[in-house]
Structure 1
């Protein structure tokens, strides 16, 4: 019997405030959570609840006003932007609601891009393997404008996985897709999570998508209302 999985993300008493024309705006207040290696974890809440802000903080794209966040044991608030960026390059992949593909590059070239930035000599062969894994090997020479929304999101997933990240952040990954296509894309994300043991952290307003995760937290006005485990949902 295997032991407990290690903590990959550890957020403690995280708050985020910004100054606006009407004074201080508190976006997150005293948020604490842990994400374990290999699990799937969702952050759920209505628009404006702070979930995308929380994802940005967990990924080291922004820094909290107070509190601490550790990614793979590295205290993000103690790292400068260059070192946080290096940590993301080594450990993290991203999938966004808007696909962020470069229109002048083919699907294959979009997937190759992060590998080329790292100087990988086998970027093309690895990109082709990643596109094959998401069922788009036959579309590798097509440009984003020649692909459907679901196909573009699958290219984005291939790009996120091509360098073998230990942690994948997905911000509303099915938000711009119809229900059938969104279900196919979410199936792909969970299959990759299970097959490669990549930790998956989803931001979503879709309760059905969150229910597929090992655990999820519900945010409201920047605070955690509750943490729900998969077993608790099955028992309720």
Structure 2
């Protein structure tokens, strides 16, 4: 489902280049859940962004569902993400001028779903926000905003879901509820789940964890 081969990422800094990722070889199977763990600055979010086609590698290759991302231009990568990929971020990434319903509807409408409103409403009910569909992000708590983000991510039925520190801005109790929702809906849809986290309770729910240290893959365990 997802494969990387000798994946390298370098950026220009004062005085030379900084190597963020150092030749990552990784394969993630369909419907598998994988946690990417490691200290801050180890390259976790960079790896996630490269696998999702949000950033371009300095060298190496990434395949999503058999498609070589390096062979696609920016528009083609965006189309691939729209068709196959969902995202949940630590900062929620909701549009403040749109209601909860409209935030969930937006990617569905962009993808051409004729039932965008009913589907969005159904997923908001699924994450226990059926009574908050007309509320704007500023009127929702952090946990409620993350539930909107989860509804938005799953509503389009992606084959892959990338989550970057999805509980990082939430208190312990709210975070635990978000984790339960994330894995419950993921199990129902059979989505391939790849997440970055510092939290052991979240990583422990995954089928496998991958550990990075200073940009290198140092451990991959069940």
TM-score when normalising by structure 2? 0.98
Q: Deviations over 1:16-48 (max 9, x none)?
A: 111111211000001111111111101001110
Matched, 1:11 2:19: no
Matched, 1:111 2:104: yes
Q: Distance in 1 between matches of 2:91 and 2:98?
A: 16
Equivalences, count: 222
Matched, 1:203 2:196: yes
3-state SS of the aligned residue for 2:108?
Answer: helix
Matched, 1:228 2:211: no
Residue 211 of structure 1 and its aligned partner are, at CA, apart by 1.4
Residue 207 of structure 1 and its aligned partner are, at CA, apart by 2.0
**Structure 2 matches for 1:1-236, cutoff 5 A?**
8-229=1-222
2:83–2:111 CA contact under 8 A, matched in 1: no
Tell me the equivalent position of 1:3.
none
1:40–1:193 CA contact under 8 A, matched in 2: no
**Cα RMSD over matched residues?**
0.8
Residue 111 of structure 1 and its aligned partner are, at CA, apart by 0.5
Q: Distance in 2 between matches of 1:15 and 1:143?
A: 40
Residue 118 of structure 1 and its aligned partner are, at CA, apart by 2.3
TM-score when normalising by structure 1? 0.92
3-state SS of the aligned residue for 1:61?
Answer: coil
3-state SS of the aligned residue for 1:17?
Answer: strand
Residue 104 of structure 1 and its aligned partner are, at CA, apart by 1.5
**What stretches of structure 1 of length at least 5 have no aligned partner?**
1-7, 230-236
